[in-house]
């Protein structure tokens, strides 16, 4: 399955969530591509929308390979998730990468401050959306941020690696996907249009779905 764009992918993902009969109190997108897909899902399902700030921790040898992820939980708090592959990284380089990405998250927090959920009632059902899942590290960090704030996360994406989907479910995460790919090396291979989303574009999409209100 190949999606024409993130917009089409969001529409199909919203349809999948609706058909499963799942109910949520909030939809959150992960910048930047996940904000586009998440905005569509939130508008289609009539959900309030927010942004979860997550940064990949990349391998020193291969910058395309994520060996973990950082999530921003507000007030200077972070959720750090490292994959087994991170053990092969030089310790000093890994610590430097984590420090760098923490600084990036703080800057992102200023940019997307309006859309970052600050509080929600314990037990709030949160749908977390990204435009694709290759390793699962980014989504696990996002889910841990939601759990840390007292929410109940469900992972949602248009496309996910089939083995990663199985692992997520085995680890106790609830996950929804339009397509589970047998072999996913790059999320972009499942999109005809997978242009790099700018901060300005992400903010524009967040504005379309954003509804400031107390969750539950």
Share of the chain above pLDDT 70, in %: 94
From the list 150, 145, 155, the residue with the least C-alpha distance to 215 is 150
3-state secondary structure of 159: strand
Flag whether pLDDT at 156 surpasses 80: yes
Instruction: Say what the pTM is.
Output: 0.84
> Does the pLDDT of residue 155 top 70, yes or no?
yes
For the residues 189-205, what does the mean pLDDT come to? 95
- Judged by DSSP in three states, 214 sits in coil
In angstroms, rounded to a whole number, what is the distance separating the alpha carbons of residues 138 and 184?
15
Nearest to 34 by CA among 9, 12, 58, 17: 9
| Per-residue pLDDT tens digits for 67-107 | 888 888 666 778 787 878 788 888 898 999 999 999 988 88
- Span 9-45, pLDDT tens digits: 999 999 999 999 989 999 999 999 999 999 999 999 9
CATH 3.20.20.80 at 6-209, yes or no: no
Domain chopping of the chain, boundaries: 6-209
- What's the whole-number average pLDDT of the chain? 89
Could you give the CA distance from residue 190 to residue 149 in angstroms, rounded to a whole number? 33
Spatial separation of the C-alpha atoms in residues 165 and 159, rounded to whole Å: 10
Instruction: Assess whether pLDDT exceeds 60 at residue 174.
Output: yes
Q: Phi, psi at residue 136, to the nearest 5°?
A: 95, -15
Residue 110 makes CB contacts below 8 A (sequence gap 6+) with none
- Count CA atoms within 13 Å of residue 150 on its CB side: 10
Instruction: Provide the pLDDT for residue 1.
Output: 86
- Does residue 191 have a pLDDT over 50? yes
Q: Angle 33-45/6-19 helices, nearest 10 degrees?
A: 40
Q: What is the dihedral of CA 190, 194, 199, 201, to 10 degrees?
A: -110
């Amino acid at each position: 399955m190949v999606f024409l764009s993130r917009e089409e992918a969001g529409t199909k993902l919203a349809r999948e969530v609706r058909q499963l009969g799942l109910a949520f109190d909030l939809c959150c997108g992960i910048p930047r591509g996940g904000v586009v897909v998440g905005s569509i899902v939130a508008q289609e399902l009539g959900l309030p929308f927010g942004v979860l700030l997550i940064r990949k921790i990349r391998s020193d040898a291969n910058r395309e390979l994520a060996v973990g992820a950082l999530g921003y939980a507000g007030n200077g708090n972070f959720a750090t998730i490292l994959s087994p592959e991170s053990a092969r990284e030089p310790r000093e380089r890994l610590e430097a990468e984590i420090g760098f990405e923490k600084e990036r998250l703080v800057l992102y927090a200023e940019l997307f401050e309006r859309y970052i959920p600050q509080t929600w009632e314990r037990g709030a059902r949160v749908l977390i959306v990204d435009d694709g899942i290759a390793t699962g590290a980014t989504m696990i960090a996002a889910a841990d941020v939601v759990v840390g704030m007292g929410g109940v996360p469900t992972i949602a994406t248009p496309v996910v690696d089939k083995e990663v989907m199985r692992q997520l479910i085995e680890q106790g995460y609830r996950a929804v996907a339009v397509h589970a790919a047998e072999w996913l090396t790059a999320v972009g291979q499942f999109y005809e249009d997978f242009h790099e989303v700018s901060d300005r574009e992400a903010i524009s999409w967040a504005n379309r779905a954003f509804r400031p209100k107390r969750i539950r």
